[in-house]
Amino acid sequence: MTTLVAPVADLLVRQRAYWNTGATHSLEFRLAQLKALREAILTYQADIIDAARQDLGRPEFEACFEIGTIGELDYVIKHLPRWVKHRKVSLSLSQKPGSAWVQPEPLGVVLIIGPWNYPFQLIISPLMGAIAAGNCAILKPSELAPATSKVLARLVEATFDPAHVALVEGGVDTAQALLAERFDHVLFTGGERVGKLVMQAAAQHLTPVTLELGGKSPCIVDVDVNVEVAARRIVWGKFLNAGQTCIAPDYLLVDERVKAELVTALQQRIVECYGENPAENPDLSRVLNDCQFDRLVGLLNQGNILAGGEHDRSDRYIAPTLIDSVSWDDPIMQEEIFGPILPILTYRSLDEAIATLRQRPKPLALYLFSRDRQVQTQVLDRTTAGSVCINDVILQVAVWNLPFGGVGSSGIGRYHGQHSFDTFSNLKSVLKKPFWMDVDWRYPPYEGKVKQFRKLIGLS
Ligand code: NAD
């Protein structure tokens, strides 16, 4: 396929041979590698922050989110000794005497492909799960965040034996060359279109996949809210990283009775955060590249701009923007926005809002602002999403023991914390029987045993 096929194949052979030695399996080895990763992140932290600035114009505060993945690493290091243990399960009467348990074991050699928007974190977070579960791993970061890709390459080379963890830099060709090989698991983070290609390629080897995709995450604002606090949280979550966050609220769905008050609060909050001229504000990230910039500016032609709208291609700057008067058929409501533009739609009744959401693809995240417990219950019980956060945004991603992932077109599978460990493990089922009792009921000849068997399995 490409000139990369041979080296990639060689790397795989090397990793598979290493995995087969069993060197990666012990708890001591896994913990030592995780601790080495922790040290490496601390050693390279200035480079990681600088790379996020180069790739995405990130302010230092937001660049630190990349390093914030160390919080998950500490959580994994702390709990791994418990996760690796056998998980005992009870036996029914018909299976006794005996014992049964789930025995997690490493899968083998896994592939992790990352996106550009949180380019460090979204390689390192899956990697810690892969190492914790005792696997070898090949990493392919996004070519669209080249400075971060280089730092990651240096960090991985300086920290790991390439037979255990290796990083391959490159773009689509490299990803395709990797995907042509047989891995034991592929964890992909990126868009829906490429996610389908990854799944197709993996299917050739029957390789299981975890697909962490995107989509349009709604944010419902009920009438029973603290408008000021809701506006603070929404503005933060939406304009963080210039809206290039997979779980950012994509659009607002607001009870029409609270819209005017909310819009005023959002407008004020944007000024408080980013000043009268956000172009000069150091706390606003930039759009990734010209292609993304042009796509986003194209979305500004719809509806009625309530705040922002200014943009400058030479700086890939788009002001934090609020838009209303858009319809579900407009392009802005058809594609994932993934930029600093927030459409505001309204609803008359919660039933109407829920019915609207139920017609749309299942989102990665859903946000609800409401103090009303009945509203909370209605939304939780009658809508679906990979994750829900009530009265805040984004923060659910940093609860390490909550499984993270999508549903339907927003993804397949879960990771973070123990869910990463389980994703990268074969949860092997084991049943162990003693010799000391061997009742005759299951063996032929069956004559005269049907009644006894039916009773045993609960049939009359
Ligand atoms: P992308 O799908 O374009 O690229 C992701 C990775 O796939 C990159 O490493 C890229 O090199 C590789 N790739 C691109 N084309 C390929 C092909 N034809 N075959 C194989 N590999 C290919 O995604 P992106 O633009 O980097 O990221 C943005 C998307 O990722 C958004 O949709 C966002 O919502 C989503 N995302 C999801 C999560 C999550 O956790 N669910 C997190 C971040 C981003």
The per-residue pLDDT for range 112-140, each reduced to its tens digit, is: 999 999 999 999 999 999 999 999 999 99
- Which segments of 31-184 are extended strands (E)? 87-89, 99-106, 109-113, 136-140, 165-167
Q: Is 246 in the pocket of ligand 1 (CB under 6 A)?
A: yes
Q: Burial of 63 by CB count in 10 Å (0-12 exposed, 13-18 middle, 19+ buried)?
A: buried
pLDDT bracket for residue 246 (50, 70, 90): very high
Residue 353 CB coordination number (10 Å): 25
Question: Phi, psi (5° rounding) for residue 104?
Answer: -65, 135
Q: 2, 55, 117, 412: which to mutate for ligand 1, most atoms within 8 A of CB?
A: 117
Q: Is 81 in the pocket of ligand 1 (CB under 6 A)?
A: no
What ranges in 319-397 are assigned the alpha helix state H?
A: 350-358, 373-382
Residue nearest to atom 39 of ligand 1 (CA): 212
Q: What is the pLDDT of residue 6?
A: 59
Q: Is 131 in the pocket of ligand 1 (CB under 6 A)?
A: no
Measured in Å, residue 393 CA sits from the centre of ligand 1 at 22
Measured in Å, residue 189 CA sits from the centre of ligand 1 at 5
Residue 4 has pLDDT above 60, yes or no: no
Q: Is 143 in the pocket of ligand 1 (CB under 6 A)?
A: yes
Query: Strand, helix or coil at 359?
Result: coil
Q: What is the pTM of this model?
A: 0.96
DSSP H or E run through 323: strand 321-324
Distances (CA, A) of 348 to 206, 253, 297, 357, 403: 47, 10, 30, 14, 33
Residue 246 a catalytic site member: yes
Residue 437 CB coordination number (10 Å): 9
pLDDT tens profile 197-221: 999 999 999 999 999 999 999 999 9
Domains in the chain: ranges and CATH: 8-213+410-427 (3.40.605.10), 218-405 (3.40.309.10)
Residue 5 has pLDDT above 80, yes or no: no
Residue 259 has pLDDT above 90, yes or no: yes
Beta bridge partners of 344: 252
Measured from the Cα of 113, ligand 1's closest atom is 9
Catalytic residue among 181, 212, 219, 336: 212
Residue 212 a catalytic site member: yes
Residue 182 has pLDDT above 70, yes or no: yes
Which residue from 427, 451, 402 is spatially nearest to 75, judged by alpha carbons? 402
